[in-house]
Amino acid sequence: MQKRIYGIETEYGIIFTPEGRKTLPVEKAIRFLFEKLITTEHFLNVFLENGARFYQDTGCHPEYATPECASPGQLIIYDKAGERILEDLQIYAEEKIREERIAGKLSIFKNNTDFVGNSYGCHENYLVDRDVDFYYLAEQLIPFLVTRQIYTGAGKVFQTQDGIHYCVSQRAQHIYQKISGTTTNDRSIINTRDEPHADREKYRRLHVIVGDSNMSEYTNFIKVGTCSVVLQMIEDNYINKDFTLRNPVKAIKDITYDSTCKRRLRLDNGREYSPIEIQREYCEMAQKYIEQYPVSDEHKQAVYMWQHVLDCLDTDPDKLDRQIDWVIKRRLIQSWVDKHRTSWTDPRVLMLDLQYHDIRRERSLYYLLERKGAVERLYTDEEIDAAKTEPPQDTRARMRGEFIKLARENSIQYDLDWSNIRLGNLLNVRVICNNPFETDTEKVAELVRTIQKTNLRKTSLSKLVIQS
Amino acid sequence: MATFIRLTEQRDRRRARVDAGADPLPMYMAAGEQKQKQKGGGGDDESGDSGGGQKLAEKGEELKEEMDNLLDEIDAVLEENAEEFVKNYVQRGGQ
């Protein structure tokens, strides 16, 4: 598929730290995050003006799902916009908590683990053709997904009985299956939950749940960009090499413990390759592929960055201390340890790890580096700020975003999900939009005009369904 | 044979450019990084040998100072009760 819909769902870590005797359990703290959102939808589950969804997920995690995006770059901007939206909500929530006379600090982290072994995810969604054999696609993709952590990992300080390790990935230790249907136990690399939120006869969803949440725009872009290219190659039957791993779940853990990225893994055919070598093979195929097939400029860019990143990993990973999350964070901690003449076992090291991921920019170590120009950016603050309120213009999210604005201006009662708009005081008018590429906002405007004329707020229409 | 050499030369040159931080498409290039690499690269034709070492040393000092400032700022924002905070940071499992 050349035209594809992309989405990322990010679950955030949240904690309230009291500064007095009164405290706030997390299930209460999280409710304050929703205080600022005006909606007629269910509490703790709302769609935003930019087309995204914000809700409370399993385990009391605030979760932001980007709107439907039409390219990897656009997706990264909307993922970042989610951080900013959450930062606004957090600032407001802290005020509200103070008004309740509870002193303390509400912290939100964009990472995937605490330090006692719990994990929360970052799920990537790629729309794929229903015609593609899903299990074939998954098998082809798994060696790529297992080894890509060497440039997509967010890094983690991991304490074990033998001491401190610095792992490449946050998520790798929490993966127990290749493919499965669950997300809370027995987490897998690829999840089979097939919710395309679109015409099921045409599309299915590829749900990748093995990835880390990224702070770096560069890392996040290369994560989605390279996966998308590999996906396209598989769909075009372009991949002619077999990298099936003998034990992918073990491999994913071996790789995360090896920050040289060079320890060899055994393939099903008995050969042994390092993660860098497997990635190089995919990357070389991609370089040829983009010469022969129609591919977007963003995808070409992703392939060039991919090669650059692999070259650096091969020679000296520290060259990526402006681009790749796990390297940026490791360098930061090492410099701090050197300055204080302490060691990685210093308990403050775990705090450095955590605070790198703080979404409150004035507290966050990642954003401190960003302000200093010490990390590479791909997008501007203006682009990210605009994405907080404006939906993507080339997907269905545009219709949803426009509708939300019009409905609020006209005080119309509504309820939404990804492919339906329900409105009216009995929510008896329903617009179905099964095509995620549809952008016809005139339809939405027309609908709102009709409602204004008939004054739906007072009279109750019989059930009306508009198929989009 | 000649063609082959030219091709590998081209590829090597392309590699060299990538190594220097100059990606083939400039869209995402970090201007800062490029400058830094050019300055700190050493052995440049223009700078020559005389004074090159001194310049490098100055640059090294500058970088060290920047790093020290950065680390001071980290200490200023780092959670005061780090050990306690980390101990209390227990999340319920998510998806």
User: What average pLDDT score do residues A326-348 get?
Assistant: 97
Provide the percentage of residues in chain A whose pLDDT is more than 90.
82
CB A360 within 8 A of CB A179: no
Q: How far is it, in rounded angstroms, from Cα A208 to Cα A196?
A: 13
d(Cα A148, Cα A154) in Å, to the nearest integer? 12
Of the listed ranges A301-310, A311-320, A425-434, the least confidently predicted one is: A425-434
Q: Using the predicted structure, report yes or no on whether residue A453 has a pLDDT greater than 80.
A: no
Choose among A118, A209, A218: nearest Cβ to B92: A118
Are B92 and A335 in contact (CB < 8 Å)?
no
Nearest to A301 among B25, B67, B94 (CB): B25
- pLDDT at A454 > cutoff 70: no
Tens-place pLDDT, residues A236-257: 999 999 999 999 999 999 999 9
**pLDDT for position A467:** 55
Tell me how close the Cα of A11 comes to any Cα of chain B, in angstroms.
8
Is residue A356 a contact partner of residue A366, using CB atoms and an 8 Å limit?
A: yes
Q: Count CA atoms within 13 Å of residue A198 on its CB side.
A: 23
Between strands A464-467 and A429-432, the pairing is: parallel
Going from N- to C-terminal start, the domains of chain B cover 53-88
Q: Which chain B residues are closer than 8 Å to A363 by Cβ?
A: 77
Token output for A226: 């390279």
- Give the active site residues of A: 57
DSSP B36: H
Quote the CA–CA distance of A390 and A324 in Å, as a whole number: 29
Q: What is the pLDDT of residues A322-332, one digit of tens each?
A: 999 999 999 99
Contact partners, residue A235, CB within 8 Å, separation at least 6: A1, A128, A129, A132, A137
Give the residue with greater pLDDT, A264 vs B11.
A264
| Coil, strand or helix at A48 | coil
CATH of domain A6-385: 3.30.590
Q: Per-residue pLDDT tens for A149-180?
A: 999 999 999 988 888 999 999 999 999 999 99
pTM of the entire structure? 0.88
Place of tokens 């997920």: A57
Residue A142's pLDDT is: 97
Q: Which residue of B has its CA nearest to A210?
A: B95
Confidence of residue A347 (pLDDT cuts 50, 70, 90): very high
Tell me the three state secondary structure of residue A302: helix
Query: What kind and span of H or E run contains A84?
Result: helix A72-99
Give the dihedral sign, CA A263/A267/A269/A270. positive
- Tokens representing residue B88 in the block: 């209390």
B32 burial via Cβ count (<10 Å: 0-12, 13-18, 19+): middle
Q: Mean pLDDT score of chain B, rounded to an integer?
A: 63
Per-domain boundaries in chain A: 6-385, 396-467
